[in-house]
Structure formats: C-alpha cells, structure tokens
Amino acid sequence: MNILFLNKLSEEWNAPLNKLKEEFPGVEFKINDNPGERINELQNSDAVIAGRLTAEEIESSENLKAVIVPFTGLNNFPIDTINKKNIKLYNTHANAPFVAEHAVAMALALMGKVVEFENDLKKGKWNRTKEADDMWTSIRNKNIGILGYGHIGKYIAKYLKAFDCFIIGFKRNVDSKSNDYADEISNNIDEVIAKSDVLFNVLPLNPETKHIINAEKIAKMKGKYIITVGRGETISEEAMYNGLKDGILAGAAIDVWYKYPGKSEEPVMPANFPFWELPNVVMSPHKSAHTAQAVRAMIEDTCENIRKFIISHK
C-alpha cells in the first residue's frame, strides 16, 4: 500500500507519522511536493494527503481509494469526480474549538471597539464621553445567529452561552441532535437573519452557498453585526462593503477574504473594495486556526484518518 503526501511536512508531523510507520511497516509513506510529478505519483498511490486536487488528477489516478484533507474546507477538490469514482474523502474538524475562539474574540473586539479605541489612544485621543459614538456594544443577552451550525458553530454557541446569549443555528438538515447548545435550529436563513443581532458566518463554500449572503440579505441586516470565519465567497464582497459603508451593517469582523497573496512577496490587499478604510471593520489575515494547539490537533487527526484508511483496506 502506498500513501502519498503532496505537500512539504513541518517538523510537527514527525512524531505522529513515525508512529504510523512503526504500526504499519508494510505501508510505503512517500512525500513529494514537486508539481511536475504529481500525476505520476498519484497513479501509484492508494491514498493521498493534499490541500487541493484537480478533476484531471483524480481521473488519472486509477489506484486511488482515498483523499485525505489535512484541514476542514473541501472547496479546492472536485467533489463530483471523487464521488463518481467512489473514492473515500476524509477531512478534519480538530481545529473547530480554536476557530470558534478566534471568531468570538473578533466579535468582542468589533463590538467592544477595541481596535478603534486603541488606534485613537495611540494618537492621544481619549474616547471617554458617554455620547453614542463613544460607547461600545456588549454581546451579553444578544440574539446570535450561527450560519453553518456544524463543528465550529457549536463551539461558538457553547462559548457564547457564558454571555447569556440566545442562539439560533442555521443548517440545511435539521435533526434532533442539532440543538445541543442552540436554543433554536432553522433551515431558513432569512428567518435566522431576521431574529439575530449578531451573525456568525461559518458556512463552507460550495455552489449552494456562494454569495448566499447577497445585497438583498444585507439590506435586511440593519444594525446587525457579522463575523465571518467560513469562506469569503459565501458573502458578496460588494454587498458587504456597501452595507458597511452605507451604515446598514453595524460592523463586520472578517477572517476570510477575496484576494490572497499566493507565492508573491509583494503586499496584497485582501479585497477588491477598501474595507480597511472603514471604521466599523476588524480584519484578520485568515488566522483563526493558526495556534500551535490547532496545528497539532489537525495533524494528529489527519494521521488518525490515515490509520483508519489503512486498517479498512488491510
């Protein structure tokens, strides 16, 4: 059996990967991050650990039985092709409590005007009056809508219960196990938006969710806050920017974006619209899972998925 890694592995992988090698001495573990050799390597592999794959790569991989993703999002994979070939797809939600923590931290920073007050105080301006513009907003007792009530959403709900918040979860398939922390669960996104003071967007990106939050929905968010840690393209960039600029949205905390630097070393602004010029925006460079604990948890969970695959095909 051949297990292929298509990315460079950090030293955090050493211990869990060595443990797998000791447990399964007959399995070959190969690492190759050379883009020109991907297709050839895939043709000889039973399972691949990768951050992205094309439909062409999947189609040409006759022996491939599993795609193991070392993180949560699946929008960089041809799901239809993977399903058509009956290839098992694994991913990990081990970073969920950390992403949720970061989302709550951004919400508190946004509503508490932490960044705005800090920037003013660095200039010697003290926001000490009790005028409306100088007041911050507490998250206590707020109605919280969680768009994408899955692993991350449930941790957000759990954390916000400490603030006596009323939690309304949105998910496509509602079942009796959904409301462990939520007070309500709905599959109607408009209903969740209407009932919420603060919205956490944790939606994955797929054809059904792309721009699911559009200008029409933003127009119904007067005075609401939105915190987005799912995928940028689930919200129309122009609609969100205009909603913030025109005072429809009270504010936004954004960790997922519309433009990324890739391999460029030049400065890259994260959007096509100048969110960074708006006072009611807190920005984060897609960092919600970047803690040492989250990295270790995701690696260990990915290795456990590899272990499950090997055992199931022995």
Higher-confidence position of 76 and 45: 45
CATH number at residue 135: 3.40.50.720
Instruction: Work out the mean pLDDT of the chain and round it to a whole number.
Output: 94
Residue 3 three-state SS: strand
Same domain, residue pair 74 and 124:
no
Helical packing angle, 14-23 and 292-312, nearest 10°: 20
Tell whether 288 is covered by a domain. no
Same domain, residue pair 226 and 115:
yes
Q: Judging by beta carbons within 10 Å of its beta carbon (0-12, 13-18, 19+), is residue 47 exposed, middle or buried?
A: buried
Domain count, the chain: 2
Q: Which domain holds residue 9?
A: 2-94+293-312
Our CA dihedral for 6, 8, 13, 18, rounded to 10 degrees, sits at 70
Q: What strands lie across the sheet with 143-147, from one edge to the other?
A: 184-186, 166-170, 143-147, 198-201, 225-228, 251-254, 281-283
Same domain, residue pair 210 and 241:
yes
Same domain, residue pair 140 and 217:
yes
**Confidence class of residue 82 from pLDDT cuts 50, 70 and 90?**
very high
Same domain, residue pair 214 and 265:
yes
Please give the pLDDT value at position 184: 94
**Mean pLDDT across 203-230:** 96
For residue 176, is pLDDT > 70? no
* Gap between the Cα atoms of 16 and 193, Å rounded: 43
Same domain, residue pair 176 and 232:
yes
Please state the pTM of the whole predicted model: 0.91
Same domain, residue pair 113 and 212:
yes
Q: What strands lie across the sheet with 47-49, from one edge to the other?
A: 28-31, 2-5, 47-49, 66-68, 88-90
pLDDT tens digits, 252-265: 999 999 999 987 78
Same domain, residue pair 188 and 118:
yes
Please give the pLDDT value at position 230: 93
**Confidence class of residue 131 from pLDDT cuts 50, 70 and 90?**
confident
Computed on alpha carbons and rounded to an integer, the radius of gyration of the chain in Å comes to 22
Same domain, residue pair 36 and 110:
no
pLDDT tens digits, 14-55: 999 999 999 999 999 999 989 889 989 999 999 999 999 999
**Mean pLDDT across 149-171:** 96
Same domain, residue pair 143 and 106:
yes
Please give the pLDDT value at position 236: 97
- Cβ-Cβ contacts under 8 Å for 78 (sequence gap 6 or more): 53, 54, 55, 58
pLDDT tens digits, 269-298: 999 999 999 999 999 999 999 999 999 999
How is residue 248 written in tokens? 């429809």
